[in-house]
Amino acid sequence: MGKYSTSAEWADVVPIPQNDGGPNPLAAIAYTEEYSEAMSYLRAVMAAHERSERVLKLTEHIIRMNPAHYTIWLYRANTLFDLQKQNQSNLEEDILEELKWLDGISLKHLKNYQIWHHRQNLLSALSTLPQTELPFLALMLSKDTKNYHVWSYRQWLVRHFALWDNNTEITYIESLLELDVRNNSAWNHRWFVLFGRDVDPKSGRGMDEVGNIIDEDLLDREVEFAKGKIRLAPQNQSPWNYLRGLLRKRGSLLECKEFAEEFVGDAEGEGCRSSHALDFVADCWVEKEEKEKAGKALELLAKRFDPIRRNYWNWKRGLLGLEAVEAGPLEA
């Protein structure tokens, strides 16, 4: 006898068992009896379109057994909103109460997408950001600073609540980069906060590309910020990509050519401290139409400093009309 079949609260419900294709299914999933019973009762209440407190308890029970079941999360959200309308209760208070419960589930299942979609559904119904939300996200990211689901949700949060000018976001990002300058997720979020609102949702193009004025002071500040982080770890690709993105908004890499040359050593690559700097310098030479110098930089990358991607560097040489180079001594 199960939890629900012996409960007076559920005596009026006729459970609907899972149909795996007849009495002898080809590949039936070996669910536990507890899970099978709970799902049988959920199918019954869903078929009856029931929205009630007992349904919330049922969905909580199933979620604790299987937090990746998207249908359960969706039905729970619909039940919450319907109950709020039926009871005429305070929507914000109801959502905050749900968030408290959800926080515990989130901390137990760090990489669960459905949890974050449910959280987004909840906050979509609010006009202001709860004070507890950003501290909770900081707690989540302290467990895993590169949790994709948390970062994706945080980007949605910034856009939904218009946090573009909220210094809290930039301050928080800078604290993460102080801890780990190689945190590519933090670099990505910094770009999103500073430049994401300038993206045209319809075309996907930056607004500066379709006629808006570029904020030169912002670009100057961010160029210097990227340079400072590059000096800390020259072989860290993230700030080099960030720097390229900034300079692309101005249409040229050349203003930082001398900076990049600080890390590439001499013409033969002696003293080179960053393959990313060498790649940057190669693109600067291409921009200056100095294809032989660009080709030499690409040759050094292919032979000595990034031979694992030799085919890529040779492809770039081919774009310049130059021949492919063979494996260097470090790869032989």
What residues act catalytically? 111
The span from the CA of 84 to the CA of 87, in Å, is: 5
The span from the CA of 202 to the CA of 196, in Å, is: 13
CA angle 293, 254, 312 (to 5 degrees): 50
Name the burial class of residue 210, with classes exposed (0-12), middle (13-18) and buried (19+) by CB atoms within 10 angstroms of its CB: exposed
Is residue 323 within 8 A of residue 312, CB to CB? The reply is no
| Side-chain-facing half-sphere of 154: CA atoms under 13 Å | 27
The span from the CA of 322 to the CA of 311, in Å, is: 13
The kind and range of the H/E element at 75 are helix 70-87
Closest Cα to residue 91, out of 99, 100, 81? 81
Residue 226 φ then ψ, to 5°: -65, -40
Residue 302, Cα to own-chain centre: how many angstroms? 32
